[in-house]
Amino acid sequence: MKISILGAGAMGSGIAQVAATAKHNVILFDTNAAALEKSEAKLKKIMARLVEKGRIDEATSTAIAGRITYAQDMQLFAGSGLVIEAIVENLDIKKSVFKQLESIVDADTILATNTSSLSVAAIAAACDKPARVVGIHFFNPAPLMKLVEIIPAIQTSDAVLTEAKSLIDSWGKLTVIAKDTPGFIVNRVARPFYGEALRILEEGIADAPTIDWAMTELGGFRMGPFTLMDYIGNDINYTVTETVFKAFYYDPRYKPAFTQKRLAEAGYLGRKTGKGYYNYGEGATNPEPTKDKVLGEKIMWRIVAMLINEAADALFWNVASRDDIDLAMTKGVNYPKGLLKWADEVGLQKCIDTLDELHSEYLEDRYRCSPLLRKMGREGQTFYSSEA
């Protein structure tokens, strides 16, 4: 099958590499010639590194690179079995592009969007044949991250959903099915990892290094929230939070933090600008964490309880299945364990009690306990009760 990718940024280039590695002929389109040149140069570097490490041989490297055509003419998309759009997160632009695509591709070509937070239904509505539109959300870097969220819009046909999932599975990815709701699984469930950490910082309970230490050393997360926000970019992380907040009709659970907004406004975006929550300048020293285990456990558990609550609520609202929610968080953002499994381990009542204590203290809807979590706790159930 011929695969076409729209957008030669980091995400589009990564998806093109994945498809070419799976032996598809790929058209990688961008209106910007410099972006295409940069993408091609970067792929050559990646291929050379893989050969150097003995992951692939020279012939395989040449074959993968040779399957990708870098194009500024969208007409080359004709004959594609699948087109994946990976451009700017702007609904009007995406809708315009999808409308244009329909005049080029075949009648049975699947049109996919890699959006991380926009409505797939709204994008599909721009098309004459909305049944062929589906969300296929890769995670960055696409060649390394195993997880892909497959998001059917209400218009998506069952046949298109089945074909899209089967194809991405054949590329060696782990797919999960998510309902077309803001943030899908990962970007929805992960919000408290950043939001609650920022809340703890703003309250002066602990500084960024201490919160990061608590989450990595005591929680087992690969990166602390502030290190991760600096890595993602505070502009990007803030925008995703704001998008999810607005999309959920300003639910206080997803409320952005002024601290991050101010960093983004100041241009302190993290690693890419040399300064964020930490200073990445040459010779810069950053504060050491306060390694108080009692404080650290309190911080870690407060954030994890909020994450568990979010995962339980995603299950309550049928955003995804139990297994897909836990798989998404372990494979999509490398959490140390599935959140619903974690809830079982510590005990659902402990989660409920923590949330109720926070709600009682702050009297904010932000800390409301998921009805599913409360009901299961009351009935003595567990998420994995049916298994040994």
Which of 116, 119, 237, 370 is an active site residue?
A: 116
- Cα–Cα distance, 202 to 211 (Å, whole number): 12
- Respond yes or no: is residue 116 known to be catalytic: yes
- Cα–Cα distance, 286 to 136 (Å, whole number): 39
Given a contact cutoff of 8 angstroms between Cβ atoms, the answer to whether 104 and 78 are in contact is: yes
Closest CA to 141 of 257, 26, 14, 268: 14
- Respond yes or no: is residue 137 known to be catalytic: yes
For residue 28, what are the β-bridge partners? 5, 70
118-157: buried (b, 16+ CB within 10 Å) or exposed (e) per residue?
bbbbebbebbeebebbbbbbbbeebbebebbbbbbbebbb
Which of 13, 39, 80, 137 is an active site residue?
A: 137
- Respond yes or no: is residue 90 known to be catalytic: no
- Respond yes or no: is residue 187 known to be catalytic: yes
Closest CA to 143 of 35, 64, 229: 64
Given a contact cutoff of 8 angstroms between Cβ atoms, the answer to whether 8 and 70 are in contact is: yes
Q: Please state, as a whole number, how many other Cβ atoms lie within 10 Å of the Cβ of residue 383.
A: 25
- Cα–Cα distance, 113 to 93 (Å, whole number): 12
Residues 6+ apart with CB under 8 A from 283: none
Which of 85, 149, 196, 310 is an active site residue?
A: 149
- Matching residue, tokens 């995962």: 311
Tell me how far apart the 2 most distant CA atoms of the chain are, in Å: 64
Residues annotated catalytic, as ranges: 116, 137, 149, 187
